[in-house]
Structure 1
Amino acid sequence: MGTMKAETLHAHLCDRHPELSGEPYRVLSSTMQNLVIVVGERLVFRFPLTSDHASLLLEMKLLPKLGKHLPLPVPDFLYTSGRKDKIVYVGYPMIPGIPLEKELLAKFDDSRKKAAARQIADFLTALHQFTGDSMTRVDPRGFRDEWRKTWSGYYRAMEQTVFPHLNRKQKLWIMQVFYDYLYPSGHFKFTPCLLHSDFKNDHIFHDPKTGKLTGVIDFGLLRMGDPAYDFHDLCLSYGETFTRMVLDHYGGPADRTFEQRITRFYAYILRFSSMLHAVQAKDWNKLALRMEWLNEKGREWDDEV
């Protein structure tokens, strides 16, 4: 599957769905995990390029339920491959608008920013309050213990893989970040809920004329977890000031250390992941960029202490 070209996949679609024949198509994105094509500038088709289709099956199960529950449009799978098909795919009507990139949000006036913050907050509130599927029913205490073990394991991976490439000060800062998150018991009193888990700027669509949000895409990382986690990319992409605007309107299961977990731990996770992947791929240029970020954080740390 991973070696198939867009032409082959488009031909397969036209064979399975003759009504698509003759319509133009273009590749929207291509990664190690998915190839996405647009047909007729109206339909989006996603082809997983790995053999693990569990996340896509979960999307197919949950998105119809979420679509009725959420205040913004989400992918509505009108086309799906059959159970025995070797080529797996889903297709849905294109959600109008363009991604709400950081640079675009920065140009919003105050009223548009507040309106966008409220829409994002309403979306996350509804998502985090969703209980319409059996996967949302977990034992909170046991789940929180497992969540903490997962992040402890993440720290060990950093220690084993990334630390050999860091100096003492860089190691100490990362150690402190994880220590400050993992050991206060208040960080693990959250209410587990359904997460988007990849709620970032290029998955949030808006109308550039009005500034209003038009939909949310890419639910491939749906899972249960700490609701604060879904704010991590908002904080990284849009900054703490806008994230606090969202939090002002958020009505989901927040608790006393909610904002601290976002700004002091989860907002760093994508950077840490990037470092892990850079070392594993021997991408030393990317690691060097992350080193610059680490050094900047280290200087901020010095100022604080």
Structure 2
Amino acid sequence: MNGYPAQEMLERAKEWASGDDRISAALVYGSVATGRADEWSDLDLLVVTAGDREEVWAERQQIADRVLGGEGCVWAGEVSHQRPYRYAAYRADAAQLDLTMDDGRAKPWRGLADGFVAILDRDDIVAKLRADFEGWKPLEPDVEVSDGATWVWLKYLAGRLRRGQHWMVRCGLVSLAYERIVPLLGVSPNAVETALPAELRTRLHGAIAVRRGGRRTDPSAPSDGRTVRRRARPLVPANRAGPTGPSAGARDPGPHRQAVIGATGAIGCDRARQPISGGPSTRSPASLRTMPWDRDSLIAAVAAEGRDVDLSDAVRRSGWESVVLETRDGWILRFPRPHVAFEREVALLRRIAGRLPARTPVIVWTGERTKFAAYRKLNGCVFDVEAYRRAPSHQRDRLARSLAGFLVAMHAVLTPGEIAELGIPGGGDSDDAQILDRLDRVPRVVRHDVETLLAEIAALRRERAELGRPVVLHDDFHFGNVVLDGPVGYLVGVWDFSCVRMGDPSEDLRYLAGGPVDLLDRVAHAYEQLSGRHVDTRVATMAHRHEVVSDALDLDEPETLVDVVTRWRVADACAS
């Protein structure tokens, strides 16, 4: 089987568990369940026995051998410092199985709270577990630090320091930061590598280039000329520490240390490495790289309009659909890229003002000499994925219902006459043709997967087209284009309407397919309750994958599809 070791172990675990009548349920959690697995990932497997735990536990070595496959495990042992009935086993190539056993029902704990997938459920174990999670809360990080082994560890390090064992102390402080300090910030240690704000990363990269003798004049642009943010990864923005813009009128995010941000509109249809589309693709990587306006040129263009705007500390931001200036007093000055239907977006924003359940940009004025729009920033909080994973079910539902409520309203915001008057484009399959034309650039090991994806999304779209008329899609609905009233709060603002088109409502949920495992289902359920119209999560997932492939080819990065497609295989294996 092609794929990561964790994927191969997953298949063997399913085969073993389904053939053992003593097993009530088998749940996979960790990176495999959340779609973040790679070749170094282990398989986190929780088995629930039906009253026979001691008997099954006695066979843990044989079970590990079977799941690991190959030559079986070369080292195994109980993980005594973690929860009971926990067993770690390693293969000669370092592939790892973490096996945990519960009896009767699965116990809620932090590992499962981050997301899990059932590969076997004979006795409604999952339903019972979700019910148990309703009133469950993880131990607060500060309590965990105060009551755990932190102070014992510090005393140990102090003793080593007095003895002059500096190397051990340095190693120990790294462990202290990882296991104790990082959780105090409300961040999972496993996510800390992606928690650095994009703006700070850009400044650091720029500083490194200067230190190495680089001559980049624009630190916001990578050395290859591409824009800083690319379209395929975070549906969910990285956790940020500290404000990124004026916060007047925004709710205080409080102890979550969540940024208060504004609607810059700079990203455009930028999915920041996570994309898709069902309609024709007009974006051009060349236009991203050749946009001639640097910060000084943009400031000069605004100044030429004779408006009273303080541009002294304006910040330039760049995305797929636009380049913007953000002023310190809350103005957003958005310059469209050549392929964007700027006049239509301005007309649309003016038409829908006040007609949706969340704030949208209100165009105050537009440039007469140069094409750009001016509006006030929308303030609010960015979505915090780690806080979401810790949040109770009712809070997750509140967020999901607000997202669904906006989409329901958006999909019905225009009359047929307004749609025709504004010239809202329809969907299409030109992206399919573009992918097919470049299929020979897709790595051979995943080319069949891409062909299968194209066939499935085409079939799904034909099937959906027969079920109902298309609606007005926002078509860029992801957490980079919205603000909430709290880190896991209610939707209060949405921007970037440059990608609006007609299409299947299911495709407006596609970016949710890359987030927490339950969010897509919650939003789809709320959408159907509010509208009475069915949305298909499989369409959303396939549409998302379709756009990831398209973007990888647009960015001339087809080699990235090997890892991406392998993760999809794991996700599909978990869901089957």
TM-score (norm 1): 0.80
2:417 matches 1:134: yes
1:8-157 maps to which residues of 2 (within 5 A)?
8-21=297-310, 24-27=313-316, 29-31=317-319, 33-50=321-338, 52-53=339-340, 55-82=341-368, 85=369, 87-100=370-383, 102-103=385-386, 105-132=388-415, 134=417, 136=419, 147=427, 150-151=428-429, 153-157=430-434
Q: Counterpart of 1:254?
A: 533
Greater share of helix residues, 1 or 2? 1
Q: Distance in 2 between matches of 1:253 and 1:8?
A: 50
2:506 corresponding residue in structure 1:
228
Distance in 1, Cα, partners of 2:532 & 2:306: 43
- Paired residues of 1:101 and 1:201 also in contact (CA < 8 A): no
2:572 aligned with 1:289: no
Higher RCO, Cα 8 Å, sep 6+? 1
Distance verdict in 2 for CA 1:105–1:302, change over 3 Å = closer
* Counterpart-to-counterpart distance in 1, 2:322 and 2:419: 26
Amino acid at match of 2:525: D
Provide the rounded CA distance (Å) in 1 between the counterparts of 2:336 and 2:356.
25
Cα-to-partner distance string for 1:277-301 (whole Å, 9 max, x where unaligned): 13xx3x4xxx333211112334555
Of residues 442, 445, 459, the one that matches 1:165 is 442
Q: Is the 8 A contact 1:128 1:253 kept in 2?
A: no
Letter of the 2:559 partner, please give it: A
Give the number of equivalent residue pairs: 280
Could you say what secondary structure the match of 2:308 adopts? Answer: helix
Identity value in percent: 17
Local SS of the residue matching 1:123: helix
Q: 1:18 to 1:67 in 2, by over 3 A?
A: closer
Which residue identity lines up with residue 43 of structure 1 in the other structure?
Answer: W
Change in Cα spacing, 1:300 to 1:195, as seen in structure 2 (3 Å) is closer
Partners of 1:7 and 1:130 in 2: CA distance: 38
Deviation at 1:304, TM superposition (A): 7.4
Segments of 5+ residues of structure 2 without an aligned counterpart are: 1-289
Change in Cα spacing, 1:210 to 1:200, as seen in structure 2 (3 Å) is: closer
CA distance in 2, matches of 1:22, 1:299: 49
TM-score, with length taken from structure 2? 0.44
CA distance in 1, matches of 2:395, 2:475: 25
Offset at 1:241?
1.3
**What's the offset of the Cα at 1:181?**
3.1
- C-alpha displacement of 1:156: 3.4
User: Offset of 1:39 from its aligned partner?
Assistant: 1.6
Cα separation, 2, equivalents of 1:214 and 1:41: 20
Q: Is the 8 A contact 1:119 1:213 kept in 2?
A: yes
Q: CA RMSD in A?
A: 2.9
For 1:133 and 1:64, the matched residues in 2 are separated by 17
Distance in 1 (CA, whole Å) between partners of 2:463 and 2:360 is 34
Instruction: Please give the per-residue CA displacement for 1:100-157, whole angstroms capped at 9, x wherever unaligned.
Output: 254454454433321111110110000011233635359xxxx9xx84xx33x43332
Moved more, 266-275 or 221-230: 266-275
* Separation in 2, partners of 1:210, 1:269: 28
Q: Unaligned stretches of 5+ in structure 1?
A: none
Deviation at 1:198, TM superposition (A): 0.8
Name the CA distance, whole Å, in 2 between partners of 1:209 and 1:302: 32
State the distance in 2 between where 1:22 and 1:38 align. 9
Instruction: Report the Cα distance in structure 2 between the residues aligned to 1:107 and 1:303, rounded to whole angstroms.
Output: 22
Whether 1:270 aligns to 2:547 is: yes
Letter in 1 for 2:331: L
C-alpha displacement at 1:180, in angstroms? 2.7
Question: In the alignment, which residue of structure 1 is the partner of 2:199?
Answer: none
Larger radius of gyration: 2
Contact 1:207 1:214 in 2 (8 A): yes
